[in-house]
Chains A and B, each alone.
Chain A
Amino acid sequence: MSDVASSARGDLILSHLTKSYGDFTAVNDLSLTIPKGSFFALLGPSGCGKTTTLRMIAGLEEPTQGTISLGVTEITHTKPYQRPINTVFQNYALFPHLTIFENIAFGLRRRGIKDVDEAVNKALNLVELPHLAQRKPTQLSGGQQQRIALARAIVNRPALLLLDEPLGALDLKLRRQMQIELKWIQKEVGITFVHVTHDQEEAMTMADTIAVMNEGQIEQMGSPADLYDNPETAFVANFLGQSNLIKGTVSGNDGDNKIVDLFGQKISLRKDRSHAVDSSIYAGIRPEKFRISRLETATSGNILTGGKVEDVSYIGVSTQYQVMMPWGQELMVFEQNDDGVAPFSVGESVNISWEPSFTFGLRGDEDAEAGTEVNPDEDLDEE
């Protein structure tokens, strides 16, 4: 998309944004366009710079370099209260000395709107808590506070709503429920949502577009399906779900496909799904894309032979296998328990096959472990 069209539409445009604290660079030359009306997620592990980026958009941090524009207006150095942007803070930051009604009315009153009743009640109805208007924040549960924080921001009809790990403090069940609710509310009000999270499942459930951040930069941006099915880097492949990355070399071409040699066994990979720059490559396959089969069973597509079942975990909807390959790598295979094939047992010799179009190719000089070390549930409070 062209910059001119983006500006005219009122997109949020971050251009070469950098934030340094002394020697430490939290956000490094980040450029990004967030389309108006979208539900956008900034996804990454703790310390990847996503919260800093959000705070710069809100105006709570000043960029070291670069610009932020909302439509045609540059807002890089304007004060937070001069921006048509509102934030749902981590832990909500509701004003403890004000009632819920006054919390929600706060932004409206500051903008000099006298008659706030209708707007506030509408916002309270939107989050389905109209009966709590006269309570104080401390009398509300975490989930209720979360909704009030959302209502307090949405009531102002901002051009952009920022959500900083808004569901982090809720328990799992409530989080699931709120994810669906947030998505619904976003559709209902049509405001651009920028959602910062370390939880890949949360990002994939809610967002139209996800930007995966790592070490102050964007690794990859796209729809949840794009990112999952065709990751461009090992970090993305590992941070979003699980991946099997097998080291290999590109040995030739076959029409639209590349032929990749994986420890002597040839497989094919669609050229448009290869992100390798030279012949050194990692072939990536998601564990659920693999089919596991006994040696005598006929298989098609890409096949790797010589596997041996090392471990079997039955988890209801699927069975997870660890299969040791001849070159000493354990591959993860998730089989749906729906094909009537008797489960494989430890020690059995098996072949592994998959549809060639599921393969993705990564640069061979990458760290195959990138993004796996991060435990997304730890260290929630990134400041």
Chain B
Amino acid sequence: MRKVSRWFQRNLIRIYAVVAFTYLFIPVAYTFAFSFNDSRKSNLVWQGFTLENWQNPCGAPEICTALGNSIKIGFLATLFSTILGTMIAFAIGRYHFKGRSTTNLLIFLPMATPEIVLGASLLSLFLVFQINPGFWPTVIAHVLFCVSFVVVTVKARIASLDPRLEQAAMDLYANERETFRRVTLPLVAPGIAAAALLAFSLSFDDFIITNFNSGTMTTFPKFVYTSAARGIPAQANVIGSAMFFLALAIVIIGQFVGRKRKVS
């Protein structure tokens, strides 16, 4: 009895980890497994193994159009929000100006506002200006909430940057522009890259705000939502799993490169 309890004590952390990861990964595993389901109509019951869904991920009607839209929106939202957010982060992190603390506070607002409120009010704003919901309003909406996350991420990186490095560059005959290009930007770049990845994933899986502002245009989350009523096709599982493994690959490569850089 005592032996058992001691074993338990010693392995508590491991047991906890296994339980936690099982909890986290069951849905992913389920999604992945059912991407191989030979499903025909409904993908709720296992009906046999097939590779057909993976060979033809666009098999379900509209699914690849929706995916294409999501990727396009995600790319544009990432581009704009990263540029804009990085500039705001530099302004707040580096300069003292009137309204700095107010800006700092306002940046957090989109993060704190419920998405349903943000989505609805954006829609009414677009309608006031007689802009019909669709692709560009969705991009604008996504830039809006991505920017906050970009600012927060990049600002943290800037704060950890030793100002003496820039002073040293200036001391070594680099003017303001060269200092930024040769020292500041390369050192802040990992933060900007992290912010861009975050922005893309936020944009890609956003449903609520998109649903308000996209009109008849379908995005991937919208596609999944609407098809839930009549049964989500297995191709959605394929795309979901593929996205998961892509993200995983990026993380692993990132870790690998980071470690290699430290060792060499």
Contacts and interface: CB of A to CB of B under 8 A. Distances in A.
Interface of A: 58-60, 79-81, 85-87, 89-91, 93-97, 106-107, 110-111, 152-153, 156
A242 B170 CA distance: 41
A60 B163 CA distance: 11
18 contacts: A59-B170, A60-B167, A79-B170, A81-B175, A86-B171, A86-B172, A87-B167, A87-B168, A89-B164, A89-B167, A90-B164, A91-B164, A93-B168, A95-B168, A106-B172, A106-B174, A110-B173, A110-B174
B169 A95 contact: yes
A97 B187 contact: yes
Nearest to A110: B173
B150 to A, nearest CB: 21
Interface string B144-180: 0000000000000000001011011111111100100
A106 B178 CA distance: 11
B193 to A, nearest CB: 14
A60 to B, nearest CB: 5
Interface residues of B, number: 17
Contacts of B172: 81, 86, 106-107, 110, 152-153, 156
A21 to B, nearest CB: 14
Interface centre among B165, B170, B182, B183 (most CB of A within 10 A): B170
Interface in B166-210: 167-175, 178, 182-183, 186-187
B178 A80 contact: no
Interface centre among A91, A107, A111, A153 (most CB of B within 10 A): A107
B258 to A, nearest CB: 13
B60 to A, nearest CB: 46
Contact of B187 (A81, A90, A96): A96
Contacts of A85: 171
Interface of B, helix, strand, loop or mixed by DSSP = helix
A41 to B, nearest CB: 20
Contact of A97 (B170, B174, B186): B186
A81 B165 contact: no
A93 B173 contact: no
5 A-B pairs with the lowest CB-CB distances in the bound complex, closest first:
A107-B172, A110-B173, A93-B168, A93-B164, A80-B170
B167 A93 contact: yes
Contacts of A89: 164, 167-168, 171
Contact of B170 (A60, A90, A95, A153): A60
Nearest to B185: A97
Contacts of B182: 106
Interface string B50-85: 000000000000000000000000000000000000
B173 A87 contact: no
A91 to B, nearest CB: 7
Contacts of B169: 95, 106
A87 B164 CA distance: 11
Contact of A81 (B162, B173, B183): B173
Contacts of B186: 97
Contacts of B167: 60, 80, 87, 89, 93
Given A96-B187, A97-B186, A107 B164 contact: no
B168 A81 contact: no
Interface centre among B165, B169, B171, B182 (most CB of A within 10 A): B171
A59 B178 CA distance: 17
Given A91-B164, A93-B165, A80 B171 contact: yes
A89 B163 CA distance: 12
A90 B173 CA distance: 19
B175 A79 contact: yes
Contacts of B170: 59-60, 79-81
Nearest to B264: A136
A125 B152 CA distance: 44
